[in-house]
Amino acid sequence: MSAQVSQTPTYDAGPVGRRSWGALVVPGVLGLVSTVLVVGVVGMEVPAGGSFPGPRFFPVVLAVCGYLLTALLTLHYVRHPDDAPRGEHRTHSDWVAFAWVAGGFLVFALLLDLLGWVIGAALLFWCVTRAFGSSRPGFDVAVSLVVSSAVYLVFGTGLGLPLPSGILGGL
């Protein structure tokens, strides 16, 4: 008689290590950014008699959404911790993608007045698409210019909040 061998593989995850609190970094940073938005809104000088929605509306919406997302992420992590076996790291940091996003944001922040909103935001959008692995740079540039131009028009004409025009200002 031959013994039957089970075809179902078994996995031994090994001993579970200490809980890593690294997952709380994202909600912590998001909560900090939301707090900075609230401080900015409180310190913002708004002319009397401003119409709705006004310059405080969108930062308040973003801060409320940021706090809500912070609470939900924290609650999720506390309820469902991801205990990984000792010595095993199941996350991967893509530092090239991070460099594209961080570099794009740095260039955007430093050169916004010179480039203007349309070109600066389009460059930032293109850097983010590059970080996410897009292989269609021409399409990404076209979409980024359309989106940044639409935002420029909405803020400038719809809300009366001028964004920097930069080198395109005289055209």
Task: Please report the pLDDT score of residue 13 as a whole number.
Answer: 47
Domain that holds residue 170: 93-171
Report how far residue 36's alpha carbon sits from residue 157's, in angstroms, rounded to the nearest whole number.
Answer: 27
Query: 31 is written with which tokens?
Result: 């909560």
Task: Please report the pLDDT score of residue 25 as a whole number.
Answer: 83
Is the overall model pTM greater than 0.75, yes or no? no
Task: Judge whether 5 lies within some domain.
Answer: no
Q: 141 pairs with which residues across the strands?
A: none
Residue ranges in the chain modelled with pLDDT below 50: 10-17
Task: Please report the pLDDT score of residue 38 as a whole number.
Answer: 92
Task: Please report the pLDDT score of residue 143 as a whole number.
Answer: 95
Quick one: 52 and 75 in the same domain? yes
Task: Judge whether 160 lies within some domain.
Answer: yes
In this structure, which long-range contacts are made by residues 128-133, counting pairs with CB atoms below 8 Å and at least 24 apart in sequence?
Answer: 128/100, 128/101, 128/104, 130/100, 131/96, 131/97, 131/98, 131/100, 131/101, 131/104, 132/97, 133/97
Task: Please report the pLDDT score of residue 20 as a whole number.
Answer: 61
- Asked if residue 76 lies in contact with residue 27, where contact means CB atoms within 8 angstroms, the answer is no
- Residue ending a domain, among 86, 120, 142, is 86
Quick one: 79 and 148 in the same domain? no
Quick one: 108 and 133 in the same domain? yes
Return the SS3 of 102.
helix
Task: Please report the pLDDT score of residue 11 as a whole number.
Answer: 44
Task: Judge whether 14 lies within some domain.
Answer: no
Q: For residue 89, which of 28, 133, 23 has the smallest C-alpha distance? A: 23
